[in-house]
């Protein structure tokens, strides 16, 4: 069955469904595939919505984030394969963790391939064709997405301020698993999107924070024995990785909105 699905994957793709809970990724992919290449792109932010949208939209391809709240990417793929109307739709995973040792496992689940974040948005159409043909391409950041990058930079201070507020709540009130889970999810999204927009230092810092929080959540003992001060320290270090021009970009972006 796997060979039959692969053979069908390399036909023309016109309708693409992106499943990603980060709207910054959605904006960039929609620009790269929709406005630039003429694909019909729909974006949904949760796996539950994706299952319904895949049935109604009937895309030629689904780009599926691996880590999302609730049902994750691999679970979503299993659900898609279990439904007759979506079973044969090709799926390519997109994930900030796609270069980890478990990445080959995603393909064993029936995914066509995996695109690691960050990727070059301008070369995304060629990247998809490269996965289909088995010939990956080199990537370099383009200049025709500068407007999206400027808007993204303007939003970074608010994102890191929100993370700092969660870390401060942990320090003040002690370990609280839902707060840690929310903070990890924010770090995961930031690691993927900031790498995508080539804010590399921030991407690395967010990835370190995500990995630390994941280890804490998966540890056999809860709550951790040490206080959450290290989490707050990492969040402060992450905020220092925001480019110096980000707050200026935020003020300029707000000024354009207000006009």
Query: Where are the chain's structural domains?
Result: 2-133, 146-258
- CATH class of the 2-133 domain in this structure: alpha beta
Please give the CATH topology (third level) of the domain spanning 146-258.
Answer: 1.20.120
Q: What is the mean pLDDT of residues 112-119?
A: 84
Q: How far apart are CA 169 and CA 60, in angstroms?
A: 44
pLDDT tens digits, 36-92? 678 899 999 999 999 999 999 999 999 999 888 889 999 999 999 999 999 999 999
Q: How far apart are CA 1 and CA 88, in angstroms?
A: 10
pLDDT band at 96 (very low <50, low <70, confident <90, very high): confident
pLDDT tens digits, 213-230? 999 999 999 999 999 999
pLDDT band at 235 (very low <50, low <70, confident <90, very high): very high
Q: How far apart are CA 105 and CA 1, in angstroms?
A: 18
- pLDDT > 80? residue 250: no
Q: Is the peptide bond between 221 and the residue preceding it cis, with omega within 30 degrees of 0? A: no
CB 98 within 8 A of CB 65: no
Long-range CB contacts for residues 45-51, cutoff 8 Å, separation at least 24: 45/19, 45/20, 45/21, 46/19, 46/21, 46/70, 47/19, 47/71, 47/72, 47/73, 47/75, 47/76, 47/79, 49/19, 50/17, 50/19, 50/76, 51/76, 51/79, 51/80, 51/83, 51/86
Q: Which residues contact 237 (CB under 8 A, 6 or more apart)?
A: 205
Q: Is 228 helix (H, G, I), strand (E, B) or coil?
A: coil
Mean pLDDT of all residues belonging to the chain: 84
Long-range CB contacts for residues 137-146, cutoff 8 Å, separation at least 24: 141/198, 144/36, 145/28, 145/31, 145/32, 145/121
- pLDDT > 60? residue 8: no
pLDDT band at 259 (very low <50, low <70, confident <90, very high): low
Q: What is the mean pLDDT of residues 183-201?
A: 89
Element (H, E) at 65: strand 61-65
- The DSSP code for 179 is H
Q: How far apart are CA 221 and CA 211, in angstroms?
A: 17
Domains 2-133 and 146-258 share a fold: no
pLDDT at 195: 84
Element (H, E) at 113: strand 113-116
């Amino acid at each position: 069955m796997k060979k039959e699905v692969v053979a069908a994957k390399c036909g023309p793709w016109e309708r693409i469904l992106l499943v990603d809970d980060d709207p910054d990724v959605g904006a960039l992919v929609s620009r790269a595939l929709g406005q630039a290449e003429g694909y019909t792109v729909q974006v949904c932010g949760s796996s539950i919505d994706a299952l319904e949208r895949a049935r109604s939209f009937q895309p030629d391809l689904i780009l599926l984030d691996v880590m999302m709240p609730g049902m994750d990417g691999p679970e979503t793929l299993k659900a898609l394969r279990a439904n007759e109307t979506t079973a044969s739709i090709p799926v390519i995973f997109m994930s900030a963790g796609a270069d980890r040792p478990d990445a080959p496992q995603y393909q064993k689940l029936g995914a066509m391939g995996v695109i690691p974040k960050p990727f070059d948005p301008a070369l995304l159409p060629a990247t998809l064709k490269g996965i289909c043909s088995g010939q990956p391409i080199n990537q370099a950041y383009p200049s025709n997405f500068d407007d999206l990058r400027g808007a993204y930079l303007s939003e970074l201070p608010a994102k890191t301020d929100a993370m700092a507020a969660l870390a401060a709540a942990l320090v003040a009130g002690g370990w609280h698993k839902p707060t840690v889970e929310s903070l990890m999810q924010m770090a995961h999204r930031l690691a993927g999107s900031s790498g995508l927009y080539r804010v590399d230092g921030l991407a690395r810092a967010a990835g370190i924070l995500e990995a630390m929080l994941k280890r804490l959540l998966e540890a056999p003992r809860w709550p951790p024995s040490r206080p959450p001060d290290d989490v707050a320290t990492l969040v402060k270090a992450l905020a220092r990785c925001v480019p110096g021009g980000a707050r200026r970009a935020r003020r300029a972006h707000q000024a354009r909105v207000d006009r």
